[in-house]
Amino acid sequence: MRTQSPTVAEELAHRKRQELLALPESLGAFVREQAALYGDKTAAVWFERGIGMTYAQIDRAASQLADSLVKRGVRKGCHVALMLKNTPEFPITWIALGRIGAVMVPVNTAYTHDEMTFVLTDADAQYLVIDAEFVPRLADAPALPGLLAWERVIVSGASDHPLQWQALVDAGDAGFKAASAVSRDDLLNLQYTSGTTGFPKGCMLSHDYWMIHCHGAARHRRGPEAGIENVLIWAPFFYMDPMWQFLMTMKLGGTAYIAERMSLSRFMSWLIDYRIHYCIFPEPALSQFPPGERDTEVCLKYISIYGWTRAAREEVQARFNVIAREGFGMTEVGTGALVPAWAHDKALERTCGLPAPFRELQIRRDDGSIADTDEIGELWIRGRGILWGYYKRPEANAESFDGEWFRTGDLFRRDADGFYFIVGRIKEMIKRAGENVSATEVETVLRSMDAIDEAAVVPVPDPLRREEVKAYLKLREGLTQADVPPADVFAYCAKHLAPFKVPRFLQYVEGDFPRTPSRKIAKKRLIAETADPFADTYDRQESRWR
């Protein structure tokens, strides 16, 4: 074990050497390799359901499902949507589709019918694997969205639907071989993200994207004495984090302990009961459980943290003797930067770290030139395996790419040591409890309400969720707040938006919004000129005016 920390140059050289290591050609090939290595070892435990599966069982089930799906018409390049809970069906179906060469389209299970219809139609989904609980959202509509037909809808869970997920697995041949070769450059996911502004866009992500992501994550957390085996996954699988964590765990030869959903009240018990070595640790869990006798029962070795205060970073490392490190990632590029385990002092700052394997970072000024040290500019990223582009979005692709370089829309600076720091976001996005909420999408829904003339949606600080959603409303002429009470606005939003997107705070604007010279709402001025962002607002959560 080294007694001295490496220099930044040595760290970057090490990451370049990592890039020379061969990666599996596809998701299916990777899972098969890991099953050959670890066989009957438990790969995943869905502990609230009492289900555990070995590496060999997951590999076999994926091949059986792939065989049955091909017999049902799924072919290389087919778009298959998944609207599933955190159950074995999700990763097994993903692996099966990857083995065929088909494309998975994850669908947020919190979506309303309107949002679900938009994604299924925009993604050109030809097949849908859906939990029985969500079938009524389809059945209540006069017609299925886009290219779907009922004979191509596969249901998981108790249902009288003729096409059952488990029956397909049971009927399939474990010796499945794809008719067409699947390579690292084939498309694997059409991953929808609000990303910047506007309605969700589908990021086209290849097999190589996921192999780079999970292998880099495993190597980063495999230090000399890391010993990471038990990994807690608590976020919904339709997001990218649980997917790369699941694959990272397989690469480490460990066991993933998968929760149905996040629970702050049970979080510490999960860590102790399942002897968790790694997880993404939400900062509110630290204050939820003050220091106590059970701290010594926590087995954490490494945690990922995002946006924590310095005091919280110091506390968590001291309490649990754990390595706590930040990073920077986004759906479009996977992991962009990571704080090395050896960077102890730097890790107490809010730095995102150094460029990750296969990633090159630059900070550029508005004119595209390279920014100086500590100068703020936009972060640009390039490298093998980043997104191909946004599906059916030529305008967004033209705006977001300059040759190989992807423009993140985030403001960064780079210090004299070579470490990157996020400063803010150029494009409007509210980060609420890990969820991306597009201000433009919420505003579009609000403006579609007849009584509302204009709306401006902005973030406000929140100690638990980091940011909450606040909407400023300008009503149509002649209408008053009594004509359009908050309850009506919230009810309307709930019909068209997932619960996490519905504004918590409402404020009615008298007169007019501050404007730019082109008559757009000047949100920066709106925020700056509001001394108390909660004064004269209605709080949906507390059902009162503040």
Instruction: Name the more confident of 305 and 436.
Output: 305
User: What's the confidence (pLDDT) of residue 1?
Assistant: 34
Please give the full DSSP string across 33-86, using - where no structure is assigned.
Answer: HHHHHHTTSEEEEETTTTEEEEHHHHHHHHHHHHHHHHHTT--TT-EEEEE--S
Instruction: Name the more confident of 388 and 138.
Output: 388
Please give the full DSSP string across 153-192, using - where no structure is assigned.
Answer: EEEESS---SSBHHHHHHHS-TT---SS---TTSEEEEEE
Q: 263 near 285, Cβ under 8 Å?
A: no
Q: 68 near 92, Cβ under 8 Å?
A: no
Does residue 434 sit in the same domain as residue 415?
A: no
Range of the structural domain that residue 398 is part of: 209-425
For strand 201-206 and strand 153-156, is the pairing parallel, antiparallel, or unpaired?
unpaired
CA neighbor of 500 nearest in space, from 201, 110, 202: 110
Tell me the average pLDDT across 362-366.
Answer: 94
For residue 141, name the pLDDT band (cuts at 50, 70, 90): confident
Q: Where is the domain boundary, 386, 405, 425? A: 425
For residue 18, name the pLDDT band (cuts at 50, 70, 90): low
Establish if 176 belongs to a structural domain: yes
Q: What is the pLDDT of residues 260-279, one digit of tens each?
A: 999 989 999 999 999 999 99
Does residue 434 sit in the same domain as residue 420?
A: no
Question: Looking at residue 455, what DSSP letter applies?
Answer: E
Q: What is the pLDDT of residues 102-124, one digit of tens each?
A: 999 999 998 888 889 999 999 99
Instruction: Name the more confident of 158 and 415.
Output: 415
User: What's the confidence (pLDDT) of residue 17?
Assistant: 64
Q: 204 near 187, Cβ under 8 Å?
A: yes
Tell me the average pLDDT across 346-363.
Answer: 95
What domain count does the chain have?
3
Rounded Cα–Cα distance for residues 469 and 109 (Å): 20
User: What's the confidence (pLDDT) of residue 4?
Assistant: 58
* Distance, CA of 280 to chain centre: 12
Does residue 355 sit in the same domain as residue 497?
A: no
CA neighbor of 81 nearest in space, from 201, 190, 240: 190
Residue 339: Cβ within 10 Å count = 25
CATH for 507: 3.30.300.30
Phi, psi dihedral angles at 3 (to 5 degrees): -95, -10
> Which residue in this structure is represented by tokens 């939400």?
282
Q: At residue 83, does pLDDT exceed 90?
A: yes
CA neighbor of 64 nearest in space, from 178, 188, 180, 168: 168
Does residue 312 sit in the same domain as residue 385?
A: yes
Rounded Cα–Cα distance for residues 507 and 502 (Å): 14
Does residue 178 sit in the same domain as residue 214?
A: no
Instruction: Name the more confident of 145 and 524.
Output: 145
Residues 6+ apart with CB under 8 A from 318: none
Which range, of 245-249, 399-403, 419-423, 431-435, averages the lowest pLDDT? 431-435
Establish if 149 belongs to a structural domain: yes
Q: 132 near 159, Cβ under 8 Å?
A: yes
Phi, psi dihedral angles at 240 (to 5 degrees): -70, -35
CA neighbor of 59 nearest in space, from 96, 108, 9, 89: 96
Tell me the average pLDDT across 180-207.
Answer: 88
| Exposure string over 387-419, b if 16+ CB within 10 A, otherwise e | bebbbebeebbeebbeeebbbbbbbbbbeeebb
For residue 197, name the pLDDT band (cuts at 50, 70, 90): very low
DSSP β-bridge partners for residue 187: 206
User: What's the confidence (pLDDT) of residue 198?
Assistant: 57
Residues 6+ apart with CB under 8 A from 3: none
Does residue 156 sit in the same domain as residue 240?
A: no
Instruction: Return the axis-axis angle of helices 240-252 and 27-38, rounded to nearest 10°.
Output: 40
Rounded Cα–Cα distance for residues 103 and 500 (Å): 27
Does residue 398 sit in the same domain as residue 464?
A: no
Establish if 318 belongs to a structural domain: yes
Does residue 215 sit in the same domain as residue 322?
A: yes
Q: At residue 460, does pLDDT exceed 80?
A: yes
User: What's the confidence (pLDDT) of residue 3?
Assistant: 43
Tell me the average pLDDT across 116-138.
Answer: 96
Rounded Cα–Cα distance for residues 276 and 272 (Å): 7
User: What's the confidence (pLDDT) of residue 158?
Assistant: 84
Q: At residue 69, does pLDDT exceed 80?
A: yes
Does residue 349 sit in the same domain as residue 286?
A: yes
Establish if 32 belongs to a structural domain: no
Q: Where is the domain boundary, 367, 393, 425? A: 425
Does residue 420 sit in the same domain as residue 510?
A: no
Tell me the average pLDDT across 130-135.
Answer: 96
Tell me the average pLDDT across 430-450.
Answer: 86
Establish if 116 belongs to a structural domain: yes
Rounded Cα–Cα distance for residues 446 and 505 (Å): 13
Establish if 28 belongs to a structural domain: no
Residues 6+ apart with CB under 8 A from 287: none
Tell me the average pLDDT across 150-158.
Answer: 95
CATH for 157: 3.40.50.980
> Which residue in this structure is represented by tokens 């002649």?
478
User: What's the confidence (pLDDT) of residue 85?
Assistant: 96
Residues 6+ apart with CB under 8 A from 177: none
User: What's the confidence (pLDDT) of residue 433?
Assistant: 83
Tell me the average pLDDT across 149-167.
Answer: 94
Does residue 371 sit in the same domain as residue 455?
A: no
Establish if 37 belongs to a structural domain: no
Establish if 10 belongs to a structural domain: no
Instruction: Name the more confident of 476 and 172.
Output: 172
Does residue 355 sit in the same domain as residue 484?
A: no
CATH for 274: 3.40.50.12780
Q: What is the pLDDT of residues 291-330, one digit of tens each?
A: 999 999 999 999 999 878 888 899 999 999 999 999 999 9
Instruction: Name the more confident of 423 and 300.
Output: 300
